[in-house]
A and B are shown apart, each in its own frame.
Chain A
Amino acid sequence: MMTWSRKCTLIAGAALILATNAVALIGVAYNRGTETSVLKLSERELRAPRSGWREENSALEVGLDWRVLAEDPEDEFARGRYGAAWLDEPKLASLGVDVKAARRWNERWFRPLPEKAVLIVLELDGAAYQEALRRAQARAARDAALAAANPDQAQILRKAKRAEDALRREQTTASRLFAIDAGLDFASLRAKYPDATRYAVVRGLLKPSRIVANGKTRFTASLSDHSAAWINVPLELSAALERSSAPVSATIAFGKRFEPWIIAVSGRLDGSSAAVK
């Protein structure tokens, strides 16, 4: 009978480590073999690194700051990822959410619908952003007119100021990256949105939810990213960022598995830039 020696442990353990690393790195190479989308983002679309871990974590990571165009045009902020206008019941059903069954569920027996893994289409500076801008302008104009007609009404004046601030934010700092569609098949999404420099496809999660209002029940969902939540900035690029006070632009590629990586970043103050070959 063969006895298991310490040498066998070493060989088996080393083989396991090697094989697992090889599988992971081959996956990285496969993903980066083909760029499915490349977006050039400004600091408006890049989230600041997490602060809580900064003291313990020496690496730099950036997040994509994207949002959805809310169904309600009166939504002053439109910064969230909940209740996108296009995520109606037929769309949810096409993404595999069993809305019909959920509608049949007894009120007392109702349970949260499970999250679904989907592909999300992100649009950079497109029609969705223009609509968000138009809504902010319309709100600001309406509230300013109302304030002009009621100069002694403090509440109306405050509302007008808020709308003006929201418009300024929308024009200067708010993200122009919007989730505009979702699907389960990349090919059909790419056929619908062929411009790979304006539309990126990322892996995401869709969490359906039910809204009961005025005796009517309808379903919507919130979205979250899943493959592009935080993107590691390699040392070669983070050095360039650290010479600047704030990242201004980053070119981010998405591969075959929709996993992102940064191919270039640049900072504003000293004009430094770097790119990965």
Chain B
Amino acid sequence: MDIHSRVEAQQRADEIRVFQRELERLEHERVIALDDAQRAAIECHHQELLARYGKAFDIDHDAHAKQLSLGMRIASFIGALALAASVFFLFYQFWGRFSTAAQVAILLIAAFGALAATVLVQGRDETGYFTKLAAMVAFVCFVLNIAMLGRIFNLTPTDNALLPWAAFALLLAYTCDLRLLLVAGILCFASFIAARTGTFGGLYWLDFGERPENFFPAAVALFLLPQVVDHRRFAGFAATYRLFGVLTLLLPVLVLSHWGSISYVHADPDVIEGGYQVLGFTLAAGLAWLGARRRWPEVTNTGVTFFVIFLYTKFFDWWWDAMPKYLFFLVLGLTAVLFLLVLRRLRARGYRIFGGGG
């Protein structure tokens, strides 16, 4: 079995540890008895695998190391954002002291230098934490590069800038296996599609947020992309695309279900809001079903979450003013209990309606 990423290696190592513990239990309960040769062969194979993964991907060997890794992930995420902000403010602090040619040269050198540093760090960093820091700084340097060219030469703002930013973020995301950069790329790409959709709809590109329907084409593109392009070599990438596809679809629907007047559809806002509420419930339930059927937990969880949000916001509309507050919250609590009962029943039936196993 080919292992391409740290996530996959860690998953295999965890499975080996679970297998070892279960084997011990089975032997203790005299369900199975391996002879010494079999035991040695399995142990040797596992040790070899763990050593290989440890060397190639710096995986966690036990639960304690895993906890520390989580801390390192959080630290590298916060550090990446802070370093990116630092680069931004550093340039702002001093750019006025340089001539125009020097400003352009500094921006170019910073973008090239940060990219080279990322590639260099990637070659020496098995953990990926420092690569994430360097890649985030490289992305910010490139964004700063283009944004500051706009300021230096008084360029008219354009949505075209979003495309190279998305391409750069995706390049770093795929080559360094970084989901943080994938999210940055997805946001730039989704904004570009939404801006273009808004332009087709007669809006000035920066106003694309005024009509939430502008995000629908981006949502479809993000959701379908992992179906078209094979992402098995990039652990978690397909799930990230699907998650952002679902968010880009359901968040605008949620907004439109409360503010029908900002829709492209020119009709009674009450009718538009009602239509989007029905659509919201249908989409949320449908996505929860699809996620369970296709084993996409991120889609199921987001679908269920939005279903609850749609339901609670409807409850708020209907009953917040009409009911005493204790009764309102009691209804919310009872609804949550009802939800739990329904989900438990579905689980007990083995997800048959979702096409799951018995």
A-side residues, CB < 8 A to B, are 4, 6, 8-10, 12-14, 16-17, 19-21, 24-25, 27-28, 31, 53, 56-61, 105-106, 108-109, 111, 114-117, 203, 205, 226-228, 230-232, 234-236, 238, 257-261
**Selected contact of B262 from candidates A20, A59, A111, A116, CB within 8 Å:** A111
Q: Which residues of A have CB within 8 Å of B157?
A: 226
Determine whether the beta carbon of A111 is less than 8 Å from that of B261: yes
Determine whether the beta carbon of B175 is less than 8 Å from that of A238: no
Determine whether the beta carbon of B203 is less than 8 Å from that of A114: yes
Q: Given the complex of chains A and B, what is the CA–CA distance between A31 and B119 in angstroms?
A: 36
Stretch in B13-21, B166-174, B334-342 with 4+ CB within 8 Å of A:
B166-174
**Selected contact of B108 from candidates A17, A205, A234, A238, CB within 8 Å:** A17
Determine whether the beta carbon of B268 is less than 8 Å from that of A13: no
Known A-B contacts A259-B154, A261-B154; A117 and B97 likewise in contact (beta carbons under 8 Å): no
Q: Which of B233-265 contact A (CB under 8 A)?
A: 261-262
Known A-B contacts A10-B119, A58-B96; A232 and B164 likewise in contact (beta carbons under 8 Å): no
Known A-B contacts A17-B145, A21-B149; A108 and B154 likewise in contact (beta carbons under 8 Å): no
CB distance from B106 to the nearest CB of A (A): 12
Question: B156 at interface (Cβ–Cβ under 8 A)?
Answer: yes
Question: B329 at interface (Cβ–Cβ under 8 A)?
Answer: no
Question: Can you report 9 A-B residue pairs in the complex whose CB atoms are below 8 A from each other?
Answer: A9-B176, A19-B164, A57-B92, A105-B266, A114-B204, A205-B204, A230-B151, A235-B99, A235-B100
Q: Given the complex of chains A and B, what is the CA–CA distance between A227 and B156 in angstroms?
A: 5
Question: B152 at interface (Cβ–Cβ under 8 A)?
Answer: yes
Determine whether the beta carbon of A234 is less than 8 Å from that of B123: no
**A-B pairs with lowest CB-CB distance, top 3:** A58-B96, A59-B96, A9-B175
Q: Which of B111-152 contact A (CB under 8 A)?
A: 111-112, 115-116, 119, 122-123, 138, 142, 145-146, 149-152
Q: Which residues of B have CB within 8 Å of A259?
A: 153-156
**Selected contact of B115 from candidates A14, A230, A260, CB within 8 Å:** A14
Q: Which bucket holds chain B's interface residue count?
A: 35 or more
CB distance from A263 to the nearest CB of B (A): 12
Counting chain B CB atoms within 10 Å of each CB, the highest count among A16, A19, A108, A116 belongs to A16
Q: Which residues of A have CB within 8 Å of B98?
A: 235
Determine whether the beta carbon of B112 is less than 8 Å from that of A17: yes
Determine whether the beta carbon of A6 is less than 8 Å from that of B119: yes
Question: B94 at interface (Cβ–Cβ under 8 A)?
Answer: yes
CB distance from B86 to the nearest CB of A (A): 12
Question: B269 at interface (Cβ–Cβ under 8 A)?
Answer: yes
Q: Which residues of B have CB within 8 Å of A109?
A: 261, 266-269
Question: B210 at interface (Cβ–Cβ under 8 A)?
Answer: yes
Determine whether the beta carbon of B153 is less than 8 Å from that of A28: yes
Q: Given the complex of chains A and B, what is the CA–CA distance between A13 and B175 in angstroms?
A: 11
Q: Which residues of B have CB within 8 Å of A260?
A: 154
Determine whether the beta carbon of A203 is less than 8 Å from that of B156: yes
Question: B93 at interface (Cβ–Cβ under 8 A)?
Answer: yes
Determine whether the beta carbon of B95 is less than 8 Å from that of A59: yes
Determine whether the beta carbon of B204 is less than 8 Å from that of A234: no
Known A-B contacts A235-B100, A236-B99; A13 and B172 likewise in contact (beta carbons under 8 Å): yes
Q: Given the complex of chains A and B, what is the CA–CA distance between A105 and B168 in angstroms?
A: 45
Counting chain B CB atoms within 10 Å of each CB, the highest count among A13, A115, A228 belongs to A13
Known A-B contacts A6-B175, A21-B145, A109-B268; A60 and B154 likewise in contact (beta carbons under 8 Å): no
Determine whether the beta carbon of B207 is less than 8 Å from that of A56: no
Determine whether the beta carbon of A28 is less than 8 Å from that of B269: no
Determine whether the beta carbon of A117 is less than 8 Å from that of B204: yes
Question: B324 at interface (Cβ–Cβ under 8 A)?
Answer: no
Determine whether the beta carbon of B111 is less than 8 Å from that of A17: yes
Determine whether the beta carbon of B112 is less than 8 Å from that of A14: yes
Q: Which residues of B have CB within 8 Å of A205?
A: 204
Q: Given the complex of chains A and B, what is the CA–CA distance between A124 and B151 in angstroms?
A: 25
**Selected contact of A10 from candidates B116, B156, B167, CB within 8 Å:** B116
Question: B202 at interface (Cβ–Cβ under 8 A)?
Answer: yes
| Beyond A16-B171, A21-B108, 8 additional pairs, beta carbon < 8 A | A20-B142, A20-B164, A53-B92, A59-B151, A105-B266, A232-B151, A234-B99, A261-B153
Question: B89 at interface (Cβ–Cβ under 8 A)?
Answer: yes
Q: Given the complex of chains A and B, what is the CA–CA distance between A232 and B95 in angstroms?
A: 11
CB distance from B20 to the nearest CB of A (A): 34
Q: Given the complex of chains A and B, what is the CA–CA distance between A115 and B206 in angstroms?
A: 10
Known A-B contacts A24-B146, A105-B266, A235-B99; A13 and B156 likewise in contact (beta carbons under 8 Å): no
* Nearest CB in chain B to that of A101: its residue: B266
Known A-B contacts A108-B269, A114-B210; A10 and B115 likewise in contact (beta carbons under 8 Å): yes
Determine whether the beta carbon of A116 is less than 8 Å from that of B204: yes
Q: Given the complex of chains A and B, what is the CA–CA distance between A238 and B100 in angstroms?
A: 12
Q: Given the complex of chains A and B, what is the CA–CA distance between A31 and B149 in angstroms?
A: 14
Q: Which residues of A have CB within 8 Å of B203?
A: 114-115
**Selected contact of A56 from candidates B93, B142, B210, B266, CB within 8 Å:** B93
Determine whether the beta carbon of A58 is less than 8 Å from that of B151: no
Q: Given the complex of chains A and B, what is the CA–CA distance between A190 and B81 in angstroms?
A: 48
Q: Given the complex of chains A and B, what is the CA–CA distance between A24 and B149 in angstroms?
A: 8
Q: Given the complex of chains A and B, what is the CA–CA distance between A64 and B58 in angstroms?
A: 57
Q: Which residues of A have CB within 8 Å of B96?
A: 57-60, 235, 238
Q: Given the complex of chains A and B, what is the CA–CA distance between A53 and B204 in angstroms?
A: 27
* Nearest CB in chain B to that of A58: its residue: B96
* Nearest CB in chain B to that of A9: its residue: B175
Q: Given the complex of chains A and B, what is the CA–CA distance between A8 and B172 in angstroms?
A: 11
Q: Which residues of B have CB within 8 Å of A10?
A: 115-116, 119
* Nearest CB in chain A to that of B138: its residue: A13
Determine whether the beta carbon of B154 is less than 8 Å from that of A227: yes
CB distance from A34 to the nearest CB of B (A): 15
CB distance from B232 to the nearest CB of A (A): 15
Q: Given the complex of chains A and B, what is the CA–CA distance between A260 and B100 in angstroms?
A: 15
Q: Given the complex of chains A and B, what is the CA–CA distance between A202 and B146 in angstroms?
A: 22
CB distance from A224 to the nearest CB of B (A): 10
